[in-house]
A and B are shown apart, each in its own frame.
Chain A
Amino acid sequence: MKITVCIGSSCHLKGSRLIVEQLQGLIKENALEDKIELVGTFCLGQCQTGVSIKIDDTLFSLAPEDTKSFFEKEALTRL
C-alpha cells in the first residue's frame, strides 16, 4: 500500500508535516514498514480542501488531529 501526503505550500501550512510525522510513528509502532510505503508529493490540485492525502489512488482530505483515527479506519482496514 502506498500513502501519499501532499507537501505543497497550502497543505504545508495546514499541517502536512504533523501528519507525516504521525504516520511515520504509526507505521513503525505497528511494524508495517514492509507493507506501507509513505511518500510525499507536491500539489495534488486540491489545495482548498487540504491536507490532501492519497491511499493508493483514493484521495482523502485530512486534518492533523484526525491522523490516528484515519490511519486505523482507512489504512489498516485496507491491508
Chain B
Amino acid sequence: MTQELLTANHASALAATLAGRANRSARGFGAGVYPITPQTECIELLCKQDIEKGHVVRVESEHSAMAVCIGFAIGGSRTFTASSSNGLAYMAENVFAAGFYRLPIVMMAVNRTLGPPWNIWVDHGDTLMLRDAGWIQFYCEDNQEVADTILAAYRLGEDARVCLPVMVCQDAFVLSHTIAQTDMPEQALVDKFLPPLDLKHRISLQARTVGGLDGAHENELHRWQQETAMRGTEAVYAEVQTAFEEVFGRKLPDAVVPYRMDDAEFVIVSMGTTHSTVRHVIDAARERGVKVGALRVRLFRPLPVQALETWLEGRTRIAVLDRDLCPGLGGILWSEVRPLAPQGALVQGYVMGLGGGDIRPANIEKVLADLLAREKSERPVLLEVG
C-alpha cells in the first residue's frame, strides 16, 4: 500500500479504477459521467485512467450518465458514476431504475445542498431525497473511509444475496476537496478482495424482457424481494468487513459507529463529518463528568434498526443532528431514529449545518446543553451555525 495525499474526490476515482481493473477477466468496467461541483474532480481523474476493458463515457447529463451505467451493468460490467445535489435530482428517474433493476452500480455522491437558491456546500438533503430508490447508502467521515467504502460497495452490492446498487456519500469540500493521507491499495490486493462480477440476471444471447409490465401481484413480490435483499444486507456487510480486514489489514467501520458509549446516559446521533466534531465535544464533556457518548449512522439504507436499538437501549436523552431538512417533518435522521429509542427516553432533533455551515464544537456544546436542560422534547429545532 502507498500513502498519498489525496482529496476524497481523487481517492474515489482511484478506488473506482482499482475496482474496474479487478473485473478485467470478466465483463470489464463502464462509467457514464457528467460533471457537477463538487464531484467534478473525481470524474476528471477517472477520465484520465487507462482501465483495461474499461470505458468512461462522457455524456450530456446526469440522467444519461446513470442510463449508461444501467446499460453497462445490465450487460454484466462493473460500473461507477459520481454526482451531487441537483445533478442527482436530474438523475433521479434512472437512480430508481437502477435500484429497481437490482443492478450493483456504485455511485459516489458528494453531498451538496439542493438549490435554488444556489449553494455548493454540504448538506445531506440530496442523497436523502433518494433514500427510497432501492440503493444501499453509506455516509463517510474521512477520505480513507470514502475510498475503502467504494471498494467494499462493489463486494457488497455484487453479492448475489444482495444485488443492489450502492451510494457512497461524502461531505462536500469538507472531504471532497480536502487532502489527507490516504492508503490506496495495490491492484493485486483489490483483485483478491473483489471477485469478477457474475451478475445472474445480466442480458445475454437468450432473448428476454427486462423491466416489462408488472401486474399487481408480481409488483408486490418484486418490491418485497428488494426489501428482503435490503434486510439481508447487514449480515453480508459483516462478512465484507471481515474479508476487507483480511485483505487490506485495516478495519472497515461498522454500520453504526459508536464513540464512548459504554456508560453513556446521553447520546448524540449524527452522520458524516459532523461526528468528528461531536467526538471532540464528547471528550470535553467527559472531562467535566458528563456521561455522554455518540453514534454515527454510517449505513443509512438499509437502516441498521437492530444495531441502533441495541446502542440506544438504556440511554435517557438522545440528540439527533440532521444536516438536512424535510420540509413539514424536520430532520430525516431524527424521524428514522426516534422510533428506535427506548421507551421514555427524551429524543430531540436538531437541524444544523444546512448550506455548508461549519458545525463547530461550540454548536455541539449548545446542543448538549439544550439536551440536558430540556424537560420534554419537541419537534426538531433549527440551530443556526452560519
A, B: real partners = no
